[in-house]
């Protein structure tokens, strides 16, 4: 069984200036970013590269249509594509680096024909997705009414670059949703049947760093996150390495219909499902790999193993308040239709579940969280 691979070369810089100099950013390069990230950090460097601002193409997480509009505005013959942004921008750039990216929905249906013809450099500005080290891009597929991950090795970056300075302006809400996403990546991937001792090394370290950071923020308040942003950026990268190899599972699978239909931020929709899925895992098999995770969580949270998920929820609620699914607008009928959608569209993720979940168990989890 494959144990571990880290495809992109990893780089880190203290400043954007140092990054721009070492990477010789200039003519022939395209940067996709947000204006409010680019202006303060790169604006004064006088770079000659082309820049597109993602927010001009719509708000919220990426859809296939957003990516297609951006492809339509790529006017030059670019050798390198730089993503400087959150998961939304990173995932769009994974598609921009391909030879024939449009229509995006065809990439899902004809994976064999996908070719990459540009160098791809990914610079995350949130502390969540870990997308800079994975081969996955996630889009809302408007015609299919859900979000779906597309996982192909042609979408690996050539280089992933960590610059903690870029996170200094990250609002608390985005910090919360993105870092909870990273925690879920780590928790799902350490339990995956594809996990190895190597992937678990990264996954467990990410869990420890994120939860210890949350404990400080819970005690001292939201401003206490600022000196911890570098740790959170590294933790999200570790979690990316862990799930990039071992995969995410039912929490992500069940979050996608909610995120796709009701536009709930990815990390928040994951958090809505997290405790429900893990309680079901405990009901079905408390004695497998999950026992190691519970021991780790109890140690960090300073509680009894019997109450780890209650205590975890209490801590996470100090960072982001968990809501019931109906509060996002989900209807009772969608308890059934979302369960069907998960089984129909999310087998890529469900195959990484800690224990097999039937369609009716998935329905029951939605019902308990409704
Ligand atoms: N490909 C993968 O492996 C993978 C993994 C997990 C999630 N995802 C996807 O990533 C997306 C979520 O990404 P995200 O959580 O990073 O959020 P995001 O990219 O959607 O950004 C959220 C908001 O924060 C803003 N923002 C980002 N960085 C900022 C900064 N430094 N300062 C100020 N504002 C900033 C963005 O402009 C946006 O308004 C979802 O679509 C999700 O499905 C992909
Ligand atoms: Fe995620």
Task: Give the tens place of pLDDT for each residue, 66-116.
Answer: 999 999 999 889 999 999 999 999 999 999 999 999 999 999 998 778 999
Mean pLDDT across the stretch 339-365? 97
Give the atom of ligand 1 at the shortest distance from the alpha carbon of 240.
3
Mean pLDDT across the stretch 18-28? 97
Mean pLDDT across the stretch 23-32? 97
Which residue has the CA at smallest separation from atom 27 of ligand 1? 86
Query: Looking at residue 76, what is its pLDDT?
Result: 84
Beta bridge partners of 53: 33
**Distances from the Cα of 74 to the Cα of 13, 78, 118, 129, 212, angstroms:** 28, 9, 13, 25, 43
Query: Looking at residue 146, what is its pLDDT?
Result: 85
Which residue has the CA at smallest separation from atom 35 of ligand 1? 170
Q: Is the pLDDT of residue 23 over 90?
A: yes
Both structure tokens of 316 = 């996470």
Query: Looking at residue 258, what is its pLDDT?
Result: 96
Which residue has the CA at smallest separation from atom 30 of ligand 1? 170
Which residue has the CA at smallest separation from atom 10 of ligand 1? 87
For 20, the enclosing helix (H) or strand (E) is: helix 16-22
| Region(s) of the chain under CATH 1.20.1090.10 | 172-369
Mean pLDDT across the stretch 205-217? 98
Q: What is the DSSP string of 152-197?
A: -GGG--SEEEE-GGGGTT--HHHHHHHHHHHHHHHHHHHHSTT--H
- Reference 6, options 157, 190, 200, 162; nearest CA is 157
Ligand 1 pocket (Cβ < 6 Å) reads 34, 37, 61-62, 85-89, 91, 125-126, 128-129, 131, 134, 136-138, 147, 166-167, 169-170, 174, 177-178, 181, 266-267
- Taking the C-alpha atoms of residue 149 and residue 231, their distance in angstroms, rounded to an integer, is 27
- State percent of the chain over pLDDT 90: 96
pLDDT band at 298 (very low <50, low <70, confident <90, very high): very high
For 52, the enclosing helix (H) or strand (E) is: strand 50-53
The sign of the torsion formed by the CA atoms of 64, 67, 72, 76 equals negative
Both structure tokens of 321 = 């308040």
Query: What is the CA(132)–ligand 2 centre distance, in A?
Result: 12
Which residue has the CA at smallest separation from atom 21 of ligand 1? 86
Query: Looking at residue 310, what is its pLDDT?
Result: 98
Give the mutation target among 8, 61, 130 for probing the ligand 1 site: most ligand atoms within 8 A of CB.
Answer: 61
Query: Looking at residue 145, what is its pLDDT?
Result: 85
Give the atom of ligand 1 at the shortest distance from the alpha carbon of 54.
37
Give the atom of ligand 1 at the shortest distance from the alpha carbon of 89.
19
Q: Is 46 helix (H, G, I), strand (E, B) or coil?
A: coil
φ/ψ (deg, to 5) at 318:
-75, -20
Contact yes or no for 247/192 (Cβ under 8 A): yes
Mean pLDDT for the chain overall? 97
Enumerate residues with CB within 5 Å of ligand 2 (an ion): 181
Contact yes or no for 147/260 (Cβ under 8 A): yes
Tell me the ligand closest to 62's alpha carbon.
1
| Region(s) of the chain under CATH 3.40.50.1970 | 9-167
Query: What is the CA(358)–ligand 1 centre distance, in A?
Result: 31
- Taking the C-alpha atoms of residue 198 and residue 202, their distance in angstroms, rounded to an integer, is 7
Query: Looking at residue 326, what is its pLDDT?
Result: 98
CATH superfamily to which 172-369 belongs: Dehydroquinate synthase-like - alpha domain (1.20.1090.10)
Compute the residue count for the chain. 370
- Reference 81, options 17, 32, 48; nearest CA is 32
Give the atom of ligand 1 at the shortest distance from the alpha carbon of 55.
37
- Taking the C-alpha atoms of residue 155 and residue 295, their distance in angstroms, rounded to an integer, is 36
- Residue indicated by tokens 């991950």: 149
- Chain segment 118-174, per-residue pLDDT in tens: 999 999 999 999 999 999 999 999 998 888 999 999 999 999 999 999 999 999 999
Give the mutation target among 67, 93, 129 for probing the ligand 1 site: most ligand atoms within 8 A of CB.
Answer: 129
CATH number assigned to the domain covering 9-167: 3.40.50.1970
Query: Looking at residue 349, what is its pLDDT?
Result: 97
Angle between helix 290-301 and helix 197-220 axes, rounded to 10 deg: 30
């Amino acid at each position: 069984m494959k144990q571990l691979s880290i495809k992109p070369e990893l780089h880190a810089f203290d400043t954007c200036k140092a990054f721009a100099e070492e990477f010789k950013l200039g003519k022939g390069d395209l940067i996709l970013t947000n204006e409010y990230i680019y202006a303060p950090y790169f604006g004064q460097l006088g770079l000659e590269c082309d820049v597109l601002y993602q927010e001009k193409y719509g708000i919220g997480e990426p859809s296939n249509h957003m990516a297609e509009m951006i492809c339509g505005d790529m006017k030059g013959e670019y050798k390198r594509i730089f993503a400087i942004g959150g998961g939304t921008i990173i995932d769009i750039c994974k598609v921009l680096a391909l030879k024939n990216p449009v229509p995006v929905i065809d990439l899902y249906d004809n994976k064999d024909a996908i070719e990459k013809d540009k160098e791809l450099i990914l610079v995350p500005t949130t502390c969540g997705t870990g997308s800079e080290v994975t081969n996955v891009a996630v889009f809302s597929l408007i015609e299919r009414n859900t979000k779906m991950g597309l996982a192909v090795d042609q979408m690996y970056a050539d280089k992933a670059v960590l610059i903690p300075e870029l996170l200094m302006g990250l609002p608390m809400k985005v910090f919360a949703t993105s870092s909870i996403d990273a925690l879920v990546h780590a928790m799902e991937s350490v339990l995956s049947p594809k996990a190895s001792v190597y992937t678990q090394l990264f996954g467990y370290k990410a869990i420890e760093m994120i939860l210890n950071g949350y404990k400080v923020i819970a005690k001292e308040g939201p401003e206490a996150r600022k000196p911890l942003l570098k740790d959170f950026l590294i933790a999200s990268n570790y979690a990316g390495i862990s799930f990039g190899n071992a995969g995410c599972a039912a929490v992500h699978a069940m979050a996608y219909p909610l995120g796709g239909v009701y536009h709930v931020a990815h990390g928040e929709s994951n958090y809505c499902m997290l405790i429900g899925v893990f309680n079901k895992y405990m009901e079905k098999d408390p004695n497998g790999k999950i026992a190691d995770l519970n021991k780790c969580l109890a140690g960090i949270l300073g509680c009894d193993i019997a109450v780890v998920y209650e205590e975890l929820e209490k801590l996470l609620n100090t960072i982001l308040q968990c809501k019931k699914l109906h509060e996002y607008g989900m209807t009772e009928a969608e308890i059934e239709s979302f369960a069907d959608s998960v089984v129909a569209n999310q087998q890529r993720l469900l195959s990484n579940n800690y224990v097999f979940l039937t369609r009716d168990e998935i329905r029951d989890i939605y019902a308990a969280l409704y």
